[in-house]
Amino acid sequence: MRDLQPIAGDAATVFPALRAALSGDGPAILPLAPDMHTDGVPARVPQRIALVVQTSGSTGRPKRVALSADALLAGTAATESALGEPGQWLLALPAHYIAGINVLTRSIAADTVPVVLPPGSFDPIVFGDAASRMEHPVRFTSLVPVQLARLMDESEVLTELRRFDRILVGGQSTPDALLAQALELGLNVTRTYGSSETAGGCVYDGIPISGARARVTDGQIELAGPMLADGYLDDPERTAAAFYDDAGERWYRTGDLGELADGVLTVTGRRDDQIVSGGVNVSLGAVERVVRGLPGLADAVVLSARSARWGDVPIVVSTRRPALDDVRQAVSAQLGQAAAPAALYHVGRIPLLASGKPDRVALARLVPETV
Protein backbone atom coordinates (compact mmCIF):
# COMPACT_ATOMS: atom_id res chain seq x y z
CA MET A 1 0.00 0.00 0.00
CA ARG A 2 1.05 3.62 -0.48
CA ASP A 3 -0.17 6.92 0.90
CA LEU A 4 -2.79 8.94 -0.99
CA GLN A 5 -2.31 12.69 -0.78
CA PRO A 6 -5.11 15.10 -1.74
CA ILE A 7 -3.51 18.21 -3.24
CA ALA A 8 -4.56 21.51 -4.77
CA GLY A 9 -5.45 20.99 -8.41
CA ASP A 10 -3.30 23.77 -9.85
CA ALA A 11 -0.50 22.97 -12.29
CA ALA A 12 2.27 24.35 -10.07
CA THR A 13 1.30 21.88 -7.34
CA VAL A 14 0.29 18.91 -9.51
CA PHE A 15 3.31 18.89 -11.85
CA PRO A 16 6.04 18.01 -9.29
CA ALA A 17 3.71 15.79 -7.25
CA LEU A 18 2.71 13.86 -10.36
CA ARG A 19 6.34 13.38 -11.34
CA ALA A 20 7.08 11.91 -7.90
CA ALA A 21 3.96 9.72 -8.00
CA LEU A 22 4.87 8.31 -11.41
CA SER A 23 8.43 7.51 -10.37
CA GLY A 24 7.35 6.00 -7.06
CA ASP A 25 9.31 8.57 -5.06
CA GLY A 26 6.16 10.20 -3.69
CA PRO A 27 2.64 9.28 -2.62
CA ALA A 28 -0.28 8.74 -4.95
CA ILE A 29 -2.11 12.02 -5.51
CA LEU A 30 -5.69 13.23 -5.73
CA PRO A 31 -5.73 16.69 -7.37
CA LEU A 32 -8.76 18.70 -6.26
CA ALA A 33 -10.56 21.82 -7.43
CA PRO A 34 -11.38 24.29 -4.62
CA ASP A 35 -15.00 23.09 -4.45
CA MET A 36 -14.15 19.38 -4.31
CA HIS A 37 -14.30 17.59 -0.98
CA THR A 38 -12.31 14.68 0.44
CA ASP A 39 -15.12 12.98 2.35
CA GLY A 40 -14.56 9.25 2.33
CA VAL A 41 -11.14 9.40 0.68
CA PRO A 42 -8.91 6.64 2.14
CA ALA A 43 -5.47 7.47 3.51
CA ARG A 44 -3.84 4.65 1.52
CA VAL A 45 -4.30 2.97 -1.85
CA PRO A 46 -2.77 -0.09 -3.53
CA GLN A 47 0.92 0.34 -4.31
CA ARG A 48 0.38 0.40 -8.08
CA ILE A 49 -1.99 3.40 -7.95
CA ALA A 50 -0.30 6.74 -8.73
CA LEU A 51 -3.26 9.00 -9.37
CA VAL A 52 -6.90 9.34 -8.40
CA VAL A 53 -9.06 11.57 -10.59
CA GLN A 54 -12.40 12.82 -9.36
CA THR A 55 -14.79 13.05 -12.29
CA SER A 56 -16.70 16.23 -13.03
CA GLY A 57 -20.10 14.90 -12.13
CA SER A 58 -21.65 16.73 -15.10
CA THR A 59 -24.54 14.27 -15.28
CA GLY A 60 -24.43 12.43 -11.96
CA ARG A 61 -22.58 11.94 -8.69
CA PRO A 62 -18.77 12.13 -9.02
CA LYS A 63 -16.58 9.05 -9.19
CA ARG A 64 -12.96 8.67 -8.11
CA VAL A 65 -11.00 6.88 -10.82
CA ALA A 66 -7.87 5.05 -9.68
CA LEU A 67 -5.05 5.00 -12.26
CA SER A 68 -1.73 3.20 -12.08
CA ALA A 69 1.56 4.71 -13.23
CA ASP A 70 1.64 1.99 -15.90
CA ALA A 71 -1.75 3.08 -17.28
CA LEU A 72 -0.79 6.77 -17.36
CA LEU A 73 2.54 6.12 -19.02
CA ALA A 74 1.00 3.69 -21.52
CA GLY A 75 -1.47 6.37 -22.56
CA THR A 76 1.34 8.92 -22.81
CA ALA A 77 3.49 6.62 -24.94
CA ALA A 78 0.55 5.91 -27.25
CA THR A 79 -0.12 9.63 -27.62
CA GLU A 80 3.52 10.35 -28.46
CA SER A 81 3.43 7.60 -31.07
CA ALA A 82 0.25 9.04 -32.59
CA LEU A 83 1.68 12.56 -32.65
CA GLY A 84 4.96 11.37 -34.14
CA GLU A 85 7.37 12.98 -31.69
CA PRO A 86 7.58 14.57 -28.25
CA GLY A 87 7.30 18.32 -27.83
CA GLN A 88 6.25 21.18 -25.58
CA TRP A 89 2.67 21.50 -24.40
CA LEU A 90 0.44 24.46 -23.57
CA LEU A 91 -1.85 23.63 -20.66
CA ALA A 92 -5.23 25.29 -21.19
CA LEU A 93 -7.31 22.87 -19.09
CA PRO A 94 -7.60 22.38 -15.31
CA ALA A 95 -4.89 20.23 -13.78
CA HIS A 96 -7.37 18.27 -11.69
CA TYR A 97 -9.06 16.73 -14.74
CA ILE A 98 -7.57 13.94 -16.79
CA ALA A 99 -7.11 16.06 -19.93
CA GLY A 100 -5.04 18.57 -17.99
CA ILE A 101 -3.15 15.86 -16.13
CA ASN A 102 -2.35 14.25 -19.49
CA VAL A 103 -0.63 17.43 -20.64
CA LEU A 104 1.54 17.32 -17.52
CA THR A 105 2.27 13.60 -17.89
CA ARG A 106 3.29 14.07 -21.53
CA SER A 107 5.52 16.96 -20.53
CA ILE A 108 7.21 14.80 -17.89
CA ALA A 109 7.76 12.00 -20.41
CA ALA A 110 9.12 14.44 -23.00
CA ASP A 111 11.27 16.24 -20.40
CA THR A 112 9.79 19.58 -21.43
CA VAL A 113 8.27 22.36 -19.34
CA PRO A 114 4.64 23.13 -20.20
CA VAL A 115 3.42 26.69 -20.63
CA VAL A 116 0.44 27.09 -18.31
CA LEU A 117 -2.49 29.46 -18.71
CA PRO A 118 -3.29 31.48 -15.57
CA PRO A 119 -6.38 30.37 -13.59
CA GLY A 120 -9.73 31.94 -14.32
CA SER A 121 -12.05 32.14 -17.30
CA PHE A 122 -10.59 31.10 -20.64
CA ASP A 123 -9.36 34.14 -22.58
CA PRO A 124 -8.28 33.66 -26.22
CA ILE A 125 -5.91 36.66 -26.06
CA VAL A 126 -4.20 35.26 -22.96
CA PHE A 127 -3.92 31.91 -24.77
CA GLY A 128 -2.24 33.62 -27.72
CA ASP A 129 0.23 35.40 -25.43
CA ALA A 130 1.07 32.10 -23.71
CA ALA A 131 1.54 30.35 -27.05
CA SER A 132 3.98 33.05 -28.15
CA ARG A 133 6.20 32.16 -25.17
CA MET A 134 6.63 28.54 -26.21
CA GLU A 135 10.26 27.83 -27.11
CA HIS A 136 10.27 24.25 -28.37
CA PRO A 137 10.07 23.76 -32.14
CA VAL A 138 7.37 21.09 -31.71
CA ARG A 139 4.21 22.37 -30.03
CA PHE A 140 0.97 20.80 -28.86
CA THR A 141 -2.10 21.75 -26.91
CA SER A 142 -5.32 20.09 -25.78
CA LEU A 143 -8.67 21.92 -25.85
CA VAL A 144 -12.38 21.38 -25.46
CA PRO A 145 -14.60 22.42 -28.40
CA VAL A 146 -15.83 25.67 -26.86
CA GLN A 147 -12.24 26.83 -26.36
CA LEU A 148 -11.36 26.04 -29.98
CA ALA A 149 -14.45 27.91 -31.19
CA ARG A 150 -13.54 31.00 -29.16
CA LEU A 151 -9.95 30.93 -30.39
CA MET A 152 -11.04 30.75 -34.01
CA ASP A 153 -13.24 33.80 -33.49
CA GLU A 154 -10.15 35.88 -32.55
CA SER A 155 -8.25 36.66 -35.74
CA GLU A 156 -5.28 38.03 -33.84
CA VAL A 157 -4.49 34.64 -32.25
CA LEU A 158 -4.80 32.58 -35.43
CA THR A 159 -1.12 32.99 -36.29
CA GLU A 160 -0.10 31.45 -32.97
CA LEU A 161 -2.79 28.78 -33.30
CA ARG A 162 -1.42 27.71 -36.67
CA ARG A 163 2.03 27.19 -35.16
CA PHE A 164 0.83 24.18 -33.17
CA ASP A 165 1.89 20.89 -34.71
CA ARG A 166 -1.27 19.31 -33.31
CA ILE A 167 -4.33 20.55 -31.44
CA LEU A 168 -6.16 17.77 -29.63
CA VAL A 169 -9.88 18.47 -29.15
CA GLY A 170 -12.01 16.32 -26.89
CA GLY A 171 -13.84 16.14 -23.59
CA GLN A 172 -17.22 16.36 -25.31
CA SER A 173 -18.82 16.01 -28.71
CA THR A 174 -17.06 18.18 -31.31
CA PRO A 175 -19.35 19.50 -34.07
CA ASP A 176 -18.32 18.51 -37.59
CA ALA A 177 -18.81 22.11 -38.69
CA LEU A 178 -16.30 23.30 -36.09
CA LEU A 179 -13.71 20.79 -37.31
CA ALA A 180 -14.32 21.77 -40.92
CA GLN A 181 -13.83 25.43 -40.03
CA ALA A 182 -10.60 24.62 -38.20
CA LEU A 183 -9.23 22.79 -41.22
CA GLU A 184 -10.20 25.70 -43.48
CA LEU A 185 -8.20 27.99 -41.21
CA GLY A 186 -5.14 25.77 -41.54
CA LEU A 187 -5.25 24.26 -38.05
CA ASN A 188 -3.94 20.75 -37.44
CA VAL A 189 -6.81 19.47 -35.31
CA THR A 190 -7.39 15.92 -34.07
CA ARG A 191 -10.64 14.84 -32.43
CA THR A 192 -9.98 12.63 -29.40
CA TYR A 193 -12.21 10.24 -27.49
CA GLY A 194 -11.63 8.76 -24.06
CA SER A 195 -12.24 9.41 -20.38
CA SER A 196 -10.61 9.29 -16.98
CA GLU A 197 -11.24 5.54 -17.03
CA THR A 198 -8.96 5.22 -20.08
CA ALA A 199 -6.30 7.65 -18.81
CA GLY A 200 -7.66 10.21 -21.27
CA GLY A 201 -8.10 10.13 -25.01
CA CYS A 202 -7.20 6.79 -26.59
CA VAL A 203 -9.09 7.10 -29.88
CA TYR A 204 -7.92 9.75 -32.36
CA ASP A 205 -10.22 10.68 -35.24
CA GLY A 206 -12.06 7.42 -34.70
CA ILE A 207 -8.95 5.20 -34.70
CA PRO A 208 -7.64 3.62 -31.46
CA ILE A 209 -4.07 4.68 -30.77
CA SER A 210 -1.24 2.26 -30.00
CA GLY A 211 -2.33 -0.54 -27.64
CA ALA A 212 -5.95 0.60 -27.40
CA ARG A 213 -8.83 -1.45 -28.76
CA ALA A 214 -12.44 -0.51 -29.38
CA ARG A 215 -15.55 -2.54 -30.06
CA VAL A 216 -19.31 -2.04 -29.94
CA THR A 217 -21.35 -4.54 -27.94
CA ASP A 218 -25.15 -4.28 -28.01
CA GLY A 219 -24.74 -0.73 -29.26
CA GLN A 220 -22.38 0.33 -26.45
CA ILE A 221 -18.76 1.32 -27.01
CA GLU A 222 -16.23 -0.74 -25.06
CA LEU A 223 -12.51 0.03 -24.81
CA ALA A 224 -9.50 -2.07 -23.83
CA GLY A 225 -5.77 -1.55 -23.54
CA PRO A 226 -2.94 -0.93 -21.07
CA MET A 227 -4.25 2.57 -20.31
CA LEU A 228 -7.36 1.34 -18.51
CA ALA A 229 -7.89 2.43 -14.91
CA ASP A 230 -7.89 -0.09 -12.08
CA GLY A 231 -11.43 0.97 -11.24
CA TYR A 232 -13.26 3.31 -8.90
CA LEU A 233 -11.69 3.99 -5.53
CA ASP A 234 -13.46 2.07 -2.76
CA ASP A 235 -16.45 1.43 -5.03
CA PRO A 236 -16.46 -2.24 -6.04
CA GLU A 237 -20.06 -2.14 -7.27
CA ARG A 238 -19.39 0.60 -9.79
CA THR A 239 -16.09 -1.00 -10.76
CA ALA A 240 -17.75 -4.35 -11.47
CA ALA A 241 -20.45 -2.63 -13.54
CA ALA A 242 -17.97 -0.74 -15.73
CA PHE A 243 -14.97 -3.08 -16.05
CA TYR A 244 -14.97 -6.77 -16.91
CA ASP A 245 -12.74 -9.52 -18.30
CA ASP A 246 -13.45 -11.27 -21.58
CA ALA A 247 -11.20 -14.08 -22.75
CA GLY A 248 -8.35 -12.77 -20.62
CA GLU A 249 -8.68 -9.17 -21.78
CA ARG A 250 -10.02 -6.37 -19.61
CA TRP A 251 -12.70 -4.11 -21.11
CA TYR A 252 -14.34 -0.87 -20.02
CA ARG A 253 -18.02 -0.23 -20.73
CA THR A 254 -18.07 3.46 -21.63
CA GLY A 255 -21.79 4.09 -21.40
CA ASP A 256 -21.55 5.68 -24.87
CA LEU A 257 -23.44 4.46 -27.90
CA GLY A 258 -21.52 4.08 -31.12
CA GLU A 259 -20.84 2.42 -34.42
CA LEU A 260 -17.66 0.78 -35.74
CA ALA A 261 -17.26 0.64 -39.51
CA ASP A 262 -14.05 -0.26 -41.33
CA GLY A 263 -12.13 0.19 -38.09
CA VAL A 264 -13.40 3.74 -37.51
CA LEU A 265 -15.36 4.44 -34.33
CA THR A 266 -18.23 6.93 -34.33
CA VAL A 267 -19.87 8.02 -31.07
CA THR A 268 -23.62 8.44 -31.55
CA GLY A 269 -24.80 9.27 -28.02
CA ARG A 270 -25.05 8.18 -24.42
CA ARG A 271 -26.98 5.22 -23.12
CA ASP A 272 -28.26 7.46 -20.33
CA ASP A 273 -29.35 10.27 -22.68
CA GLN A 274 -32.00 8.17 -24.39
CA ILE A 275 -35.57 9.39 -24.00
CA VAL A 276 -38.84 8.01 -25.30
CA SER A 277 -40.86 10.65 -27.11
CA GLY A 278 -44.25 9.58 -28.41
CA GLY A 279 -43.14 5.94 -28.20
CA VAL A 280 -39.96 6.56 -30.22
CA ASN A 281 -36.43 6.29 -28.78
CA VAL A 282 -34.54 9.57 -29.19
CA SER A 283 -30.86 10.20 -28.41
CA LEU A 284 -30.33 13.67 -26.94
CA GLY A 285 -26.68 13.41 -27.96
CA ALA A 286 -27.64 12.83 -31.58
CA VAL A 287 -30.02 15.81 -31.48
CA GLU A 288 -27.30 17.95 -29.94
CA ARG A 289 -24.84 17.07 -32.69
CA VAL A 290 -27.29 18.17 -35.37
CA VAL A 291 -28.17 21.39 -33.53
CA ARG A 292 -24.52 22.28 -32.95
CA GLY A 293 -23.88 21.89 -36.65
CA LEU A 294 -26.27 24.76 -37.41
CA PRO A 295 -24.84 28.29 -37.88
CA GLY A 296 -24.19 30.04 -34.56
CA LEU A 297 -25.25 27.10 -32.39
CA ALA A 298 -21.89 25.46 -31.67
CA ASP A 299 -22.39 25.98 -27.92
CA ALA A 300 -26.03 24.81 -27.80
CA VAL A 301 -27.00 22.15 -25.26
CA VAL A 302 -29.90 19.72 -25.67
CA LEU A 303 -31.79 18.61 -22.56
CA SER A 304 -35.07 16.78 -22.00
CA ALA A 305 -38.34 18.10 -20.61
CA ARG A 306 -41.67 16.52 -19.79
CA SER A 307 -44.59 16.82 -22.18
CA ALA A 308 -48.18 15.90 -21.33
CA ARG A 309 -48.69 14.74 -24.90
CA TRP A 310 -45.39 13.09 -25.88
CA GLY A 311 -43.83 11.99 -22.57
CA ASP A 312 -40.26 13.31 -22.83
CA VAL A 313 -39.14 15.76 -25.50
CA PRO A 314 -35.81 17.37 -26.48
CA ILE A 315 -35.34 21.07 -25.76
CA VAL A 316 -32.49 23.36 -26.83
CA VAL A 317 -30.67 25.86 -24.63
CA SER A 318 -28.54 28.42 -26.44
CA THR A 319 -26.98 31.86 -26.20
CA ARG A 320 -28.49 32.62 -29.63
CA ARG A 321 -32.10 33.05 -30.71
CA PRO A 322 -32.59 30.96 -33.87
CA ALA A 323 -36.04 30.28 -35.23
CA LEU A 324 -37.40 27.15 -33.56
CA ASP A 325 -39.04 26.00 -36.81
CA ASP A 326 -35.66 26.08 -38.58
CA VAL A 327 -34.05 24.01 -35.84
CA ARG A 328 -36.93 21.52 -35.82
CA GLN A 329 -36.77 21.13 -39.58
CA ALA A 330 -33.00 20.50 -39.55
CA VAL A 331 -33.24 17.90 -36.79
CA SER A 332 -36.29 16.08 -38.16
CA ALA A 333 -34.68 15.88 -41.60
CA GLN A 334 -31.78 13.90 -40.14
CA LEU A 335 -33.28 12.09 -37.16
CA GLY A 336 -37.03 11.99 -37.66
CA GLN A 337 -39.95 14.02 -36.38
CA ALA A 338 -39.82 12.58 -32.85
CA ALA A 339 -36.33 14.07 -32.37
CA ALA A 340 -37.36 17.62 -33.31
CA PRO A 341 -36.89 19.93 -30.28
CA ALA A 342 -40.13 21.05 -28.66
CA ALA A 343 -38.77 24.36 -27.38
CA LEU A 344 -35.75 26.64 -27.47
CA TYR A 345 -34.60 28.64 -24.46
CA HIS A 346 -32.21 31.57 -24.55
CA VAL A 347 -29.62 32.14 -21.80
CA GLY A 348 -27.00 34.84 -21.44
CA ARG A 349 -24.26 32.25 -21.15
CA ILE A 350 -23.90 28.49 -20.96
CA PRO A 351 -22.68 27.57 -17.45
CA LEU A 352 -19.53 25.49 -17.70
CA LEU A 353 -17.69 23.12 -15.43
CA ALA A 354 -14.01 23.84 -14.85
CA SER A 355 -13.26 21.26 -17.53
CA GLY A 356 -15.02 23.40 -20.13
CA LYS A 357 -17.96 21.01 -20.46
CA PRO A 358 -21.50 22.38 -20.16
CA ASP A 359 -22.86 22.13 -16.64
CA ARG A 360 -26.07 20.30 -17.53
CA VAL A 361 -27.27 20.17 -13.93
CA ALA A 362 -27.02 23.97 -13.66
CA LEU A 363 -28.66 24.41 -17.07
CA ALA A 364 -31.58 22.21 -16.10
CA ARG A 365 -32.34 24.62 -13.25
CA LEU A 366 -32.62 27.51 -15.72
CA VAL A 367 -35.35 26.02 -17.91
CA PRO A 368 -38.86 24.71 -17.25
CA GLU A 369 -39.30 21.05 -16.39
CA THR A 370 -42.37 20.76 -18.62
CA VAL A 371 -43.28 22.22 -22.02
Closest CA to 109 of 73, 68, 82, 67: 73
Residues 238 and 131 in one domain: yes
Residues 258 and 360 in one domain: no
- Domain termination residue (choose one: 239, 266, 293): 266
Coil, helix or strand at residue 187: coil
CATH code, domain with 319: 3.30.300.30
Residues 74 and 166 in one domain: yes
Per-residue pLDDT of the chain (371 residues; tens, 9 = 90+): 999 999 999 999 999 999 999 999 999 999 998 878 888 899 999 999 999 999 855 445 678 999 999 999 999 999 999 999 999 999 999 999 999 999 999 999 999 999 999 988 899 999 999 999 999 999 999 998 889 989 999 999 999 999 999 999 987 778 788 899 999 999 999 999 999 999 999 999 999 999 999 999 998 999 999 999 999 999 999 999 999 999 999 999 999 989 999 999 998 877 778 888 888 888 898 899 899 999 989 889 999 999 878 889 999 999 999 999 999 999 999 999 999 999 999 999 999 876 677 888 899 999 998 88
- Provide the residue range defining the domain that includes 287: 278-366
> From CA 235, how far away is CA 63, in angstroms rounded?
9
> From CA 90, how far away is CA 112, in angstroms rounded?
11
Strands 49-54 and 44-45, bridge-based pairing: unpaired
Residues 124 and 151 in one domain: yes
**Is the whole model's pTM more than 0.85, yes or no?**
no
> From CA 2, how far away is CA 45, in angstroms rounded?
6
Residues 125 and 252 in one domain: yes
- Domain termination residue (choose one: 266, 294, 315): 266
- Domain termination residue (choose one: 266, 290, 306): 266
Task: To the nearest 10°, report the CA torsion of 23, 201, 147, 260.
Answer: 180
Domain count, the chain: 2
